[in-house]
Amino acid sequence: MGKVLIIGAGGVGNVVVRKCASVPEVFSEIMLASRTKSKCDAIANDIKGVNIKTAALDADDAQQVAELIRSFKPELVINVALPYQDLPIMDACLETGVHYLDTANYEPKDEAKFEYSWQWAYQERFKAKGIMALLGCGFDPGQSQIYTAYAAKHHFDEMHYLDIVDCNAGDHGQAFATNFNPEINIREITQDGKYWENGSWKVIPAMSIHKPIEYPNIGPKESYLLYHEELESLVKNFPTLKRARFWMTFGQQYITHLTVMQNIGITSIKPIKFKGVDIVPLEFLKALLPEPGSLGENYTGETSIGCQIKGIKDGKDQTYFIWNNCRHQDAYQDAKAQGVSYTTGVPAMLGAKLMMEGVWMKPGVYNTEEMDPDPFMAQIGKYGLPWQEKIGLALPHEY
């Protein structure tokens, strides 16, 4: 049907390429581009029977991205590079008139802060150009918002309380490793926590609120209240929400390592002088840690991500839980990836597919919950992320 340019050859990029290649009737030509072309070549050469073009690209440079777009002429750019690069890639798409999709919202490199304001500011320019940008189409953000939209459409007249619960109960055998880009992961969890309650944001010290949460097929796991980007768009698009929170599990070994690294300053993003050269400690730490894409082969266990919601239906209280469990071993068998990369990459492919088919297509900049959830929900299971739901259960949160 059309050409797609995928930018980023890390763990998620690997999944997106493989899943796009499995749907040739939609993605008839694929190009994978990254700063390190050899990483692209390794992925492309491992996918048998599909001709995937590759290119070297500095995605910080909007003009370089625009030149590659003009050369390859894709209908859509899937951005699975670093969040710092969202705006240059959006600028390139705007300049060349090409649709855009990403999996994580923009954050400036020199500050551990992420919010949608920078990308939402492109709304009128994308509309005027007649092109679409779909933001945060991974799992969380992404599928978590689609779950919420599906719940709102089919199970609630009003949603009042939302808890997004994210558990990784896998074992990768490493003393310390992050499941996606270490730099982004550590920046995310070491900044202040934040949640929405009664019309305003409540800010808390990082990792200061935590408790056990029961996860399907896994059991209770200590879960920490974090700020996560989809909360920002969900409370905007579902204004009846009285409270919205995001919880993620971390093992004690992970917390201990992280605490030590914070105490010695190696998680800092402020440059320091070392032998006459400015280095960023967190970037140095990233170089020491395992590449997330390399963790898949020996990963065991599973992830569980879902939305627990309480609200009103037909004048009565309603509770609802919708979730997916993904085994790391299944992810590796399907896409040579660990489960966290897999659960991000599969929704990105399906979101792109729906855009390419015109099912999700309108000029402007949108979050996933602003799309009709039904076409996505009808297909996501067959691509590897089946979902389950329970209505009317007792949820393990205070309301």
Q: What is the pLDDT of residues 39-72, one digit of tens each?
A: 999 999 999 889 999 999 999 999 999 999 999 9
Q: What pLDDT does residue 130 have?
A: 98
Q: What pLDDT does residue 399 have?
A: 39
Name the pTM for this structure.
Answer: 0.91
Instruction: Tell me what the pLDDT averaged over the chain comes to.
Output: 91
Q: Could you tell me which of 299, 331, 339, 336 has the C-alpha nearest to residue 172?
A: 299
- Asked whether the predicted pLDDT for residue 151 surpasses 90, the reply is yes
Question: Which of the listed CATH numbers 3.30.390.30, 2.40.160.20, 3.40.47.10, 3.40.50.720 matches domain 2-135?
Answer: 3.40.50.720
Quick one: pLDDT band at residue 278, thresholds 50, 70, 90?
A: confident
Segment 78-89 mean pLDDT: 95
- Asked whether the predicted pLDDT for residue 180 surpasses 80, the reply is no
- Asked whether the predicted pLDDT for residue 263 surpasses 90, the reply is no
Segment 170-189 mean pLDDT: 65
Quick one: pLDDT band at residue 36, thresholds 50, 70, 90?
A: very high
Segment 161-173 mean pLDDT: 86
* Spans of all domains in the chain: 2-135, 143-336+386-391
- Asked whether the predicted pLDDT for residue 104 surpasses 50, the reply is yes
Quick one: pLDDT band at residue 287, thresholds 50, 70, 90?
A: confident
- Asked whether the predicted pLDDT for residue 179 surpasses 90, the reply is no
Segment 150-175 mean pLDDT: 89
Segment 268-279 mean pLDDT: 83
Segment 344-372 mean pLDDT: 98
All residues at 6 or more sequence positions from 248 whose CB lies less than 8 Å from its CB, including other chains: 166, 167, 189, 223, 224, 226, 228
- Asked whether the predicted pLDDT for residue 162 surpasses 70, the reply is yes
Q: Could you tell me which of 208, 395, 239 has the C-alpha nearest to residue 307?
A: 395
Q: What pLDDT does residue 273 have?
A: 86
- Asked whether the predicted pLDDT for residue 223 surpasses 60, the reply is yes
Q: What is the CATH architecture of 143-336+386-391? A: 2-Layer Sandwich (3.30)
- Asked whether the predicted pLDDT for residue 296 surpasses 70, the reply is no
CB neighbourhood size of 12 (10 A): 29
Segment 137-141 mean pLDDT: 97
Segment 26-44 mean pLDDT: 97
Q: Which residue has the higher pLDDT, 106 or 290?
A: 106
Q: What pLDDT does residue 182 have?
A: 65
- Asked whether the predicted pLDDT for residue 396 surpasses 60, the reply is no
Q: Extract long-range pairs of 226-229: CB within 8 Å, 24+ residues apart.
A: 226/188, 226/189, 226/193, 227/191, 227/192, 227/193, 227/194, 227/195, 228/140, 228/141, 228/164, 228/188, 229/104, 229/105, 229/114, 229/115, 229/116, 229/136, 229/141
d(CA 326, CA 331) in angstroms, rounded, equals: 7
Segment 315-331 mean pLDDT: 96
- Asked whether the predicted pLDDT for residue 366 surpasses 80, the reply is yes
Q: What pLDDT does residue 345 have?
A: 97
Lowest mean pLDDT among 92-101, 103-112, 168-177, 361-370: 168-177
